[in-house]
Chain A
Amino acid sequence: MNSEKNKPVLELKNLHKSFGDNHVLKGFNLKLFKGENLVVMGKSGSGKSVMVKCLVGLIQPDSGSITIKDEDIIKMGHKELDILRTEIGFLFQGSALYDSMTVRENLEFPLRRHKDKIENFQGTEILVKEALENVGLADAIDLMPAELSGGMQRRVALARALILKPKIIMYDEPTTGLDPITAKEIILLMRNIQKKYNTSSLIITHDVDCARVISNRMILLVDGINYAEGTFQELSNSKDPQVQAFFKN
């Protein structure tokens, strides 16, 4: 591996976050490398979503550092953070589509504000159609989010997260609330997108199937710290009962 490839695109050091007496993150560390699919697994309420929201500046951590593309986002002002955010795609747990807008308007929303970020910008229409074709929903362009099924909403949200061609994509529980077949479709879609655009992906999940299919590397978040780290194979074969608990059916 050359030094450029060894350099993380995203690094999180000794992250602490408490809500009152509830100390959720107790010195969590993470490195995401270019083109890698890193899965962070943990039980419900273990602080996975808090951690990923700290990463995009939605929650301010109590201490620690978050470096994205060599810049510490905790020290950033709002404007610099907004610019950096255009290079990060985020898929929310509940899709978070703007329900007063059509699918087209949902996808156009980030585009209209940051079209200068797109190389050879040829209009929003082409990019919106391309993003929807990538997720297999070209026909849903003029529908409202309420008219879509849960799986379709997740696909549109994925298309919206990808429309600015981000270098890093974060998925917060991408398969939660979906039936097994739709969940598998979403996982395959995520894998295809990663291959097509060579993005670095951080996937927060407690879905073992999702982790098995998509991960290059995994971190188990237990009691606010990195409890274990390795490939899916290594962790699933671990003798540690706490680690084993994640992989048992």
Chain B
Amino acid sequence: MLVNIIFGLSFSFMNSSNTILTRTKSFFAEIGDMTLFAGRFFREVFSPPFEFKELLRQCYNMGNRSLLLVGVTGFILGLVFTLQSRPTLLQFGAQSWMASMVSLSIVREIGPVVIALICAGRIGSGIGAELGSMRVTEQIDAMEVSGTNPFKYLVVTRIVATTLMLPLLIIMGDAIALLGSALIENLKGDVSFLLYFNQVFDALKFSDIIPATVKSVFFGFAIGLVGCYKGYYCSKGTVGVGEASNSAVVYISMLLFVIDFIAVFVTDIFF
């Protein structure tokens, strides 16, 4: 009886360690493939022909169609953050620090990360699903057969568009979050908008804005890259499209936190 239990336990241990090993291997293989995909992007982005019209269309699609979502998210972020912080600051009589605290937190960290995560869901999964469905319905093959480089037309334009649009969306989202914060301070603390924004601009320095903007460029690149990679190599029919869209969001979210950590680490050294 005891021998059976020991055999059973060791068998299930071996099974699960094999599964972990296989998953780890496929995870790193995927990271490798993604790196090659990024390498191909850098080779193709600087070589003609340039698809400017499609790039503009993608910028418009990603930027314009995300405005409302980013705006609402930013506004609520500012409202909630200020409402939650007020009682604590009041306890210490540090209410006048509200504007500088909120602006530094939002511009340096919370704004870029939250808006990038929102865009990972909105833009990253959209790219994954769109390219995935184009792959399974042979539209990408049709493009290739018609003598057009689908990587340049579909992938390069989307990655460049997310890289350009995300910093703009984040700047806009940060500004709206500060507006939401100012509104709460105005309603609850009798602080005028002018005074609030004076305090904000006093607190913010270029050393806060520049690293955050550079970071958001990398966030945009990561969203475009992973979304395109997952969609472009999608297989297994409509199930594959769902998987591509879903796993794009998962990978992008993980990658955003890794990029964020590296960015904070580097900023800490240089600023």
Contact = CB atoms under 8 A, between A and B. Distances in A.
Q: Is chain B's binding surface mostly helix, strand, loop or mixed? A: helix
Interface in B129-161: 130, 133-134, 137-139, 141-149
B50 to A, nearest CB: 13
Nearest to A109: B146
Which residue of B134, B141, B144, B147 has the most chain A CB atoms within 10 A of its CB atom? Answer: B147
A216 interface: no
A110 B139 contact: no
Name A's interface SS. Answer: loop
A85 B138 contact: no
A110 B139 CA distance: 13
Contacts of A113: 146-148
Contacts of A56: 145
A12 interface: no
A78 B145 contact: no
A83 interface: yes
A124 interface: no
A27 B137 CA distance: 29
A98 interface: yes
Contacts of A78: 149
B146 A85 contact: yes
B148 to A, nearest CB: 6
Interface in B224-241: none
Interface residues of A, number: 25
Contacts of B139: 96-99
Contacts of A110: 146-148
Interface in A178-237: none
A98 B137 CA distance: 9
Nearest to B151: A78
B138 A92 contact: yes
Contact of B145 (A83, A85, A100): A85
Contacts of A57: 144
A196 B144 CA distance: 26
A184 to B, nearest CB: 24
23 contacts: A56-B145, A57-B144, A58-B144, A82-B147, A85-B144, A85-B147, A90-B142, A92-B142, A93-B138, A96-B142, A98-B142, A98-B143, A99-B137, A99-B139, A100-B130, A109-B143, A109-B148, A110-B146, A110-B148, A113-B146, A113-B148, A160-B146, A164-B146
Interface of A: 53, 56-58, 78, 82-83, 85-86, 88, 90, 92-94, 96-100, 109-110, 113-114, 160, 164
Ranked 7 nearest A-B pairs via Cβ? A96-B142, A96-B138, A110-B146, A82-B147, A85-B147, A90-B145, A86-B147
Interface of B: 130, 133-134, 137-139, 141-149
